[in-house]
Amino acid sequence: MEKTPVCTERIGTDGCIIKSDRGHRRSKVPRDVEIDIEFLYKVVPQLAKVFRIVDKIGEGTFSSVYLGEAQMRDGRREMYALKHLIPTSHPTRIAAELQCLTVAGGKENVMGVTYCFRKDDHVVIVMPYMEHRAIVEIISSMSFEEVRLYIYHLLKALRHVHQFGIIHRDIKPNNFLYNRSSKMYALVDFGLAQGTADTQIELLKVVKHRAVCRLFSKLNLALHVCFLKDLTGLRRVPRPVFGERNLNSCTPAPSTTKQAAIKTESGKTDEPASRRYPSASRGPLPVRSQSSSQKPQRAVHQGLTCNCYQTDRVCNICLSRKQQVAPRAGTPGFRAPEVLTKCPSQGTAIDVWSAGVILLSLLSGRYPFFKASDDLIALTQIMTIRGSKETIQAAKTFGKAVVCSRELPRQDLRTLCETLRGRRPSPDDEVTPLPESDYKVEEDERGWDRVPDEAYDLLDRLLDLNPATRITAAQALQHPLFADL
């Protein structure tokens, strides 16, 4: 039987603690991580009897994840991910996350749970550790076939959890782990999950919307004007989308901007009054806000007729109405249109939209593709890709009115992705063949010169603006793109 490894420590010149185990390579642990590990041992002392925590491998708003090593009875050493939930997490929410992992986890690319430790208000969920790399590190070297398999397995995980009536609500690459060498996948982090009307997860029925329903803001702005990136004039050299990092090997060119004014049906936005935005090209528009020093407005009779509907201003009647509350959990850039417009009825289709955004990133080589400081800018960015008329029409289907100050054409998804990858010139450039380069040759070797139409057809259906007609995960798995799988 293998002996328990001996661990020695010393302080490095850079202030990090260097650990070396017999038979293992040395690893550096920063001082702050070492302090966090000691704190975790202190608040949950049971962990020390089972695990040797070697590193912190993740940190989010609601939890931190550590890497722990356990000595098995037969001498083997197994690695586990230890998720320490923040003490302020509601017990029902923690129990609901555990129930999602135990009921739906452990199969179909969904992470399972091994054990759970609790001491007072500190909870640690123990899960199998899967070595993986972040998408941002590998997206520039992924082949099309690799992208196809990645999306296929993500859709398998979504189909599985949706069958249990689980809405994950935070689908993004960081929550879908990918081991490139072993071709293993795992959907993780059900901390924001909600249940459908017929969910099989009993505790999700209890959670409801309490923990995730928030008001967009305490302030009411009369108008919100936001920037639009002009994708119709893309240059021959690929550039970042919406100011994001260019993951291809070409030098990004300066981007141009358009401006648009958007107002939702309630006329209320989530922007602080101190923030200023340039107005549309026709001239500045008045912006009214209610500061903390002003007296609250009197309630206006709800029977009064609104005189600002579908205009670029907000009347006093709209300002007096209560703000609509709807779930808006998730990560900016991956939220569906029905989430951004605060539609109160949201289902599993929001996870499918997020999967579509991931596929858009992978096909275009840009990650993240969307990044916005607030939900209205995010909606504007979606309009830039999917078209303003189409977005406005889709919003009507779920009871929302959206106004845009100028018409934005719908982009052809193949043209968009290939232009961003540098595979074709932009429409306003002279039609000349792109010069051969090492980058383009590498792209061809990875199959990016042979992307079938089915890939963009699936992308179009995943990014359907109307959740009622958006393809489901189960339907997407039957798409011709995956016929041989």
Please give, one letter per residue, the 3-state secondary structure of the chain. Answer: CCCCCCEEEEECCCCCEEEEECCCCCEEECHHHHHHHHHHHHHCHHHHHCEEEEEEEEECCCEEEEEEEEECCCCCEEEEEEEEECCCCCHHHHHHHHHHHHHHCCCCCECCCCEEEEECCEEEEEEECCCCCCHHHHHHHCCHHHHHHHHHHHHHHHHHHHHCCEECCCCCHHHEEEECCCCEEEECCCCCCEECCCCCCHHHHHHCCCCCEECCCCCCCCCEEEEEECCCCCCCCCCCHHHCCCCCCCCCCCCCEEEEEEECCCCCCCCCCCCCCCCCCCCCCCCCCCCCCCCCCCCCCCCCCCCCCCCCCCCHHHHHCCCCCEECCCCCCCCCHHHHCCCCCCCCHHHHHHHHHHHHHHHHCCCCCCCCCCHHHHHHHHHHHHCHHHHHHHHHHCCCCCEECCCCCCCCHHHHHHHHCCCCCCCCCCCCCCCCCHHHHHHHHCCCCCCCHHHHHHHHHHCCCCCCCCCCHHHHCCCHHHCCC
pLDDT of residue 266: 47
Pairing label, strands 17-21, 63-71: unpaired
399: alpha, beta or left? (left if phi > 0; alpha if psi -120 to 50):
left
* Residue 19 is assigned to a ligand binding site: no
Q: Tokens in use for 196?
A: 């459908």
Name which of 363, 381, 398 is nearest 470 in CA terms.
398
Catalytic residue among 170, 270, 351, 374: 170
Burial of 376 (0-12, 13-18, 19+ CB in 10 A): buried
For residue 183 the two structure tokens come to 């071709």
Examine the residue annotation and report whether 170 is marked as an active-site residue of this protein: yes
Q: Which CATH architecture has domain 213-482?
A: Orthogonal Bundle (1.10)
161 close to 168: Cβ distance less than 8 angstroms:
yes
Q: Please tell me the predicted confidence (pLDDT) of residue 458.
A: 98
Residues 27-128: name the CATH superfamily: Phosphorylase Kinase; domain 1 (3.30.200.20)
Token pair, residue 188, equals 């993780």
Domain boundaries, the chain: 27-128, 213-482
Length of the chain: 485
- Interatomic CA distance for residues 239 and 255, integer angstroms: 8
What does residue 27 show for φ and ψ, rounded to 5 degrees? Answer: -135, 145
Q: What is the dihedral of CA 330, 334, 339, 345, to 10 degrees?
A: -80
Distances (CA, A) of 18 to 22, 28, 78, 354: 13, 5, 21, 40
Given this model, what pLDDT does residue 321 score? 65
- Which contacts (CB < 8 Å, 24+ apart) does range 400-403 have? 400/264, 400/265, 400/341, 400/342, 400/343, 401/264, 401/265, 401/309, 401/310, 402/262, 402/263, 402/264, 402/265, 402/341, 403/261, 403/262, 403/263, 403/310, 403/311, 403/312
Low-confidence ranges of the chain (pLDDT < 70): 1-27, 208-305, 309-310, 312, 320-329, 426-440
Give pLDDT, residue 309. 67
Segment 288-346, tens digit of pLDDT: 433 444 444 444 454 556 777 667 677 777 776 666 555 556 788 999 999 999 898 89
**Do residues 457 and 451 lie in contact, with contact meaning Cβ atoms separated by under 8 Å?**
no
Q: Is the pTM of this model over 0.85?
A: no
What is the predicted pLDDT for the residue at 24? 40
Reported as a single tens digit per residue, the pLDDT across 261-302 is: 445 554 444 443 334 333 333 343 333 433 444 444 444 454
pLDDT of residue 466: 97
For tokens 């920037």, what's the residue? 227
